[in-house]
Amino acid sequence: MLKAKTRIFIACLLITQFEVANAQESQQTSNTPKPVVFDTQQDRQHMLDQLGITKLRPGKSGNADDPNAANTDESKANPYPNPRTTPPASNVQPLPAVRKSQTKCESSVQRQ
């Protein structure tokens, strides 16, 4: 009987603590300011102000005579290096050394 009364008392105590915590939380949330809702332009300007950006760099122009014209000349583009003129990489391991290190790693993983 005593254990049941103790359990009921602890349950009532926890419930009242929970109610007090909720009441304090609701008072705190009522004091917070409401969130500001920006449209797209206002949000962009707000972010620029926060970052301290006053002027943006102009983008590439479609006019070939402009100083900031886009480069559309494919002869100037070089996505891949020329293998005949590029020096060989000195840090590349030969294939047998790579295989040996792979088997070492695999065996250490299998042991674990």
Task: Say what percent of the chain tops pLDDT 90.
Answer: 17
Strands (E), the chain: none
Q: What angle do CA 40, 44, 50 make, to 5 degrees?
A: 145
What DSSP character marks residue 86? S
Q: Report how far residue 101's alpha carbon sits from residue 108's, in angstroms, rounded to the nearest whole number.
A: 11
**Is the whole-model pTM more than 0.85?**
no
| Phi, psi angles (nearest 5°) of residue 69 | -70, 145
Q: Is the pLDDT of residue 35 over 80?
A: yes
Convert the pLDDT of each residue in 40-95 to its tens digit. Answer: 999 999 999 999 999 998 888 888 888 888 877 777 666 676 777 766 666 666 67
Rounded to the nearest 10°, the torsion over CA 25, 27, 28, 31 is 160
How many residues belong to the chain? 112
